[in-house]
Amino acid sequence: MRLWSLPLRGRVVVLTGASSGFGERTARRLAVEGARLVLAARRAERLEALRRNLPTEAVAVSADVTDPAARRRIVEAALSAFGRIDVLIHNAGLGRLDWLDNLAPDEIDRMIDVNFRAPIHFTREALPHLVPGGHVVFVASLASFTATPPYVIYAATKFGLKGFADALRRELRPRGLRVTAVYPAPARTEFTAHNGESVFLPFVSHPRWLFLDPDRVARAIVAALKRPRAHVFVPGWIRPIAWAEGVVPGLVDAVVGPLFVRPFWAREARRRVSPERRPAP
C-alpha cells in the first residue's frame, strides 16, 4: 500500500473540457486541493462562471482543442499567468453513437479530431513547458478496450488514445515525466447530447441509475495525480471486462451480438422503412 502522496497545492494544471461533466467536477476538486488552474472549453460563459466560483487561482480560456491556434493560446495563458505547467489533463471528448453508415463524414472526422488528434498535438505543444515531475493525464474510456457497435468510431479513437498514452509513458519516463490513462465506464454526463435520432439513444440515456456518477471519475483523476499510476479503471470492477477482450475475444463477440446488434438492428430496420423516413416519390 502506498502511504506517500504528492501535494497538489500550488501546482499548475491545464484542464480541457472543463465546462461540464468530468472536467467541471475535476476542476472543483483540484481547486479544493489548492491547485492553480487553466480551464479550457468552448463554452465561454459556463467556463467563466466556473472560474469565478472556484476557491483558487484560475484562468479561463475559451478554446476548441482541435484548433492549433487555440491550443497555443491555452499554453500561453498558462505560462503568462503561472510561468509553468505541472499537469496537463486531456478531458475534452466527443461521442456520436450510431451505425457506421448513419454517421456523416464530418461527424467521423470531428470525433477523430477531438478524441485523438487534439490530445496528440496538444501534448506536443505543451511538452517543452512541462516541469520535471510533470504529469500528463488522458481521460480515455472502457471503450479503449471493449468496442461495441454503437461506439464504432468512438472506440477507434479511444483505442488509439490508449496506445498513444502507453507509448508516451514509456518515452517520457526517463525524462522524469508521468503519464496516466483513465478508463471510466459510461457516466451521467452530457455525452448523449450528440446522438440525435440514433436507435441507441434510449440505451445510453436510461435508466440513469446504471451510469457512473461523474464525481467518482473526478475523484479518481485527482487521486492519480497524488499517487501516480499508469492505468486507472473507474470503477475498478470493470478491469476484468477490459481483460476479457484481450484474452477471450470470441466470448465478447458472442455476448455483444445478442446484447447490441440483434435488438438494435431490428429497431433500425423498422426505422429505415418507416413512412416518415421514406424518400418522396
DSSP code for 190: G
Spatial contact of 155 and 98, defined as CB atoms under 8 Å apart = no
Spatial contact of 35 and 18, defined as CB atoms under 8 Å apart = no
Q: Which of 82, 138, 154, 264 is catalytic?
A: 154
Burial class (CB in 10 A: 0-12, 13-18, 19+), 265: middle
CB burial string 203-229: b at 16+ within 10 A, e below:
bbeeeeeebbebbebbebbbebbeebe
154 noted as active-site residue: yes
DSSP, residue by residue, 123-136: HHHHGGGEEEEEEE
Report the C-alpha gap between 219 and 215 in whole angstroms.
6
- Residues tagged active-site: 154
